[in-house]
Structure 1
């Protein structure tokens, strides 16, 4: 039976590097739970060998690009691509540091925070890859500010710096427990509908 052909959008859609990494970890976990330990060790060795091989090749490409005329600008263009950025981050080859990319991400989301009378300070990244932020101000007239503002910040940061393991946002005031309807399901407040996170803020 003939396999259905992919649409143009499916062909052009780049794979998510983070999701691929999670898939690899999931497969290795399944192997560890069901296979012989020697098979698990050989499989892990194979994965690491392939990663080292492709990482070395990518590092050489980056080195050659930097050595060519206009290479710095070309590298910036490549690093702005979601797929290439993920690979560069994975092999610690991105031309911008984690803090630089996080700072740029926060700058992009600040207009949205400002529209809700808020701002955020970058406190730093610890040795475990946890990003620490300090939220300032309030979301005037928007009870769902804690959720929407935190979501906007986290989405922007994870897109810019997928290597961040966790985000600790200080200064977030938890909202009162949501009212529940039949079956104990939380009722969606009207303000949550009126206070969406705009796409252009991310």
Structure 2
């Protein structure tokens, strides 16, 4: 036990010495203030956050032969994750790519904290102040924030929550039945029109919507009125351009290929209705 404690103390002293050297090198390069902030954030969460790209660059310059193996040895699987971010048409939503699969099939939308209780990752993300919506795609997580919250403050916490989840070994859903159902799966009792709608949504429309960090859910078709009901998810929910996408893009495509369709309407959930009322 004593040997383990000594080993941890030795590693901490080694890292502290390296980062002090990094800070001196950064000051020479004129990057002192920005690196100082990054170093302070790093120590505030040590040893649970990986070094920033700037710290990696300077550490490699100081000890190029051992810096990579040092961090890999101390951080393990969680520290080897490289999470990328991608902007969306919705300025309040951001895509996070963990470099690992998220949803095996379909997608999952969590419009409020209560709905997130079925997923450890979604629950952890909702535990961050300022998060208003979470969405899972095939290989990305879309997070939506409140307007008065800054991404600069949220990103480190979101990165940590995603890394914590993947290192924990927990399932994405506590109950397998809570996983996404395939709304566009074609069933035997589907009419020809419904089957064509689902096919177009799955093959032509959904991929484009998912590229923007969202998804579209089929909610039904009324043969008497010719109206298709859809629900926008993820970054597309509440996006200023979602109505344009729905009418100019999706509606036009469905009406072009399926003459029976007369229009497309967006179905709102409870949270979206509240936002519309405000």
TM beyond 0.5:
no
Instruction: Output the TM-score relative to the length of structure 1.
Output: 0.33
Higher-helix-fraction structure: 1
Which structure has the higher relative contact order (CA within 8 Å, separation 6+)? 1
The structure that has the greater radius of gyration is: 2
